[in-house]
């Protein structure tokens, strides 16, 4: 696993305040490395796998399968292979990056929108878990991005599901709302994975990327009994006028499994969340001489507005730290993600000595950049280039603005997915 996440650190750390801010973000990413999280939560003692308070005697299982989906699935599967070795009978992981593993097949799908490639890969996963019986153990790696990757539509076609997903995103729907709809248009999300795997034993390893760490929302809760209903999904569709705006016939929403019998042999555990990252960021900020506070672990809201509020928040010598997931209501046809838009929204409120950073922990803010920085250097570069932050915001065009001003954070895919990391700091006067 890499020792440094921010690849362009040396080229963008142009001021002491920038260096401090990026060092704090780096500390947060290092604290939630997927391989370290697996090692911290799982221990193999002889033939016994210890997961929290539960113990699994692997000699008692005929087969041990590893099945994963989401952005952290490949890194987690690689670490599970190191830990369990020949005790793994086989498996499949479906993620956004590939890389050959010895005992587990790796498949690469599309994100954030579903595709026929995802449907085909999901079919292979479904076939594997269906063949498991009461003598088998399935270790399921559940991580963010799994809602789009683990795709088997019910009641709609693939292109219709993609259109619905895209429309919800453009409307600024919260991730919980998106996932309520996805659960009720799927044959595998919303507890359906557990139903298909029954009567096998299932250990769900959940990597949370959602506000509040509601594990039933992560990857749309495939291994967890769903508490939402078709009526809830219908309300979300009505709220955003999805059927009309997508020019679709009425969606055939399906109820998720509610029978407790399917979940009696399922144990889900939270492996890691942004709490560990935020604690590490706070410790690093203090080590650098800042008064540090964690504003929120579940910060939400319109990205540009959140950026503006963060920019005016820190006092001199203070670092304000947050995790969460903002939204972008798309009005233009530009390019960029919520983290870069947050930084762009912060820019006009920046004063000398203040730096605002927002970074997607998975390394891809709806594109190849992980996030953006807003500070006086960004302002000066924009002025020199004749760039208007308001004009770029109007087009939702944060990517080219951040790139032209030398204010993008580049990490590449990190193998981590624990929500976005946000920071506003102000140097002492």
The tens digit of pLDDT for each residue in 127-173 reads 999 999 999 999 999 999 999 999 999 988 888 888 899 899 888 89
The tens digit of pLDDT for each residue in 281-335 reads 999 999 999 999 999 999 999 999 999 999 999 999 999 999 999 999 999 999 9
Cα–Cα distance between 51 and 41 in angstroms, integer? 6
Lowest mean pLDDT among 5-9, 140-144, 235-239, 385-389: 235-239
Domains of the chain: 9-31+274-426 (3.40.1480.10), 34-272 (3.40.50.10180)
- The DSSP annotation for 44-100 comes to EETTEEEETTEEEEGGG-SEEEEEEESTTHHHHHHHHHHHHGGG--EEEEEESS---
Tell me what pLDDT residue 243 has: 75
Report the sign of the C-alpha dihedral through residues 230, 236, 238, 241, in that order: negative
The tens digit of pLDDT for each residue in 405-415 reads 999 999 999 99
- The DSSP annotation for 360-427 comes to ETTS-SSSS--EEEESHHHHHHHHHHT--HHHHHHTT-HHHHHHHTT-EE-----S--S-EEEEEEE-
212 pLDDT exceeds 90? no
The pTM is what? 0.93
The tens digit of pLDDT for each residue in 230-269 reads 999 999 999 998 877 665 566 789 999 999 999 999 999 9
The tens digit of pLDDT for each residue in 186-209 reads 999 999 999 999 999 999 999 999
Tell me what pLDDT residue 38 has: 98
Cα–Cα distance between 427 and 429 in angstroms, integer? 6
The CA-atom distances, in angstroms, between 191 and each of 8, 54, 156, 224 are 41, 21, 19, 5
Q: How many residues does the chain have?
A: 429
């Amino acid at each position: 696993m890499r020792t440094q996440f921010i690849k362009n650190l040396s080229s963008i750390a142009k001021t002491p305040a920038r260096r401090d801010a990026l060092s704090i973000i780096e500390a947060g990413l290092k604290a939630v490395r997927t391989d370290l999280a697996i090692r911290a939560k799982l221990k193999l003692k002889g033939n016994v796998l210890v997961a929290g308070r539960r113990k699994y005697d692997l000699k008692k299982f005929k087969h041990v399968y590893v099945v994963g989906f989401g952005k952290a699935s490949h890194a987690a599967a690689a670490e599970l292979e190191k830990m369990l070795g020949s005790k793994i009978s086989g498996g499949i992981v479906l993620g956004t990056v590939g890389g050959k593993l010895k005992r587990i097949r790796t498949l690469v799908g599309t994100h954030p929108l579903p595709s026929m490639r995802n449907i085909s890969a999901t079919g292979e996963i479904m076939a594997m878990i269906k063949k498991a019986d009461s003598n088998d153990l399935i270790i399921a790696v559940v991580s963010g991005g799994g809602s789009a990757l683990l795709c088997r539509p019910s009641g709609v076609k693939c292109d219709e599901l993609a259109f619905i997903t895209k429309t919800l995103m453009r409307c600024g729907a919260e991730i919980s709302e998106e996932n309520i709809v996805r659960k009720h248009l799927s044959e595998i999300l919303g507890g359906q994975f557990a139903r298909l795997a029954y009567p096998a034993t299932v250990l769900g390893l959940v990597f949370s990327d959602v506000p509040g760490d509601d594990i039933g929302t992560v990857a749309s809760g495939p291994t967890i009994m769903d508490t939402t209903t078709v009526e809830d999904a219908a309300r979300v569709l009505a709220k955003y006028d999805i059927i009309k705006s997508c020019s679709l016939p009425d969606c055939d929403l399906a109820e998720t499994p509610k029978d407790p019998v399917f979940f009696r042999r399922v144990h889900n555990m939270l492996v890691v969340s942004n709490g560990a990252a935020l604690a590490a960021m706070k410790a690093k900020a203090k080590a650098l001489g800042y008064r540090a506070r964690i504003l929120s672990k579940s910060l939400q809201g319109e990205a540009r507005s959140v950026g503006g509020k963060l920019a005016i928040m820190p006092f001199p010598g203070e670092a304000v730290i947050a995790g969460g997931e903002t939204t972008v209501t798309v009005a233009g046809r530009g390019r960029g993600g919520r983290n870069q838009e947050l930084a762009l929204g912060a820019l006009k409120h920046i004063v000398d000595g203040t730096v605002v950073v927002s970074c997607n922990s998975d390394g891809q803010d709806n594109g190849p950049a992980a996030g953006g920085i807003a500070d006086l250097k960004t302002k000066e570069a924009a002025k020199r280039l004749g760039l208007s932050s308001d004009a770029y915001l109007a087009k939702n065009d944060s990517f080219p603005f951040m790139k032209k001003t030398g204010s993008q954070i580049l990490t590449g895919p990190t193998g981590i997915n624990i929500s976005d990391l946000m920071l506003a700091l102000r140097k002492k006067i």
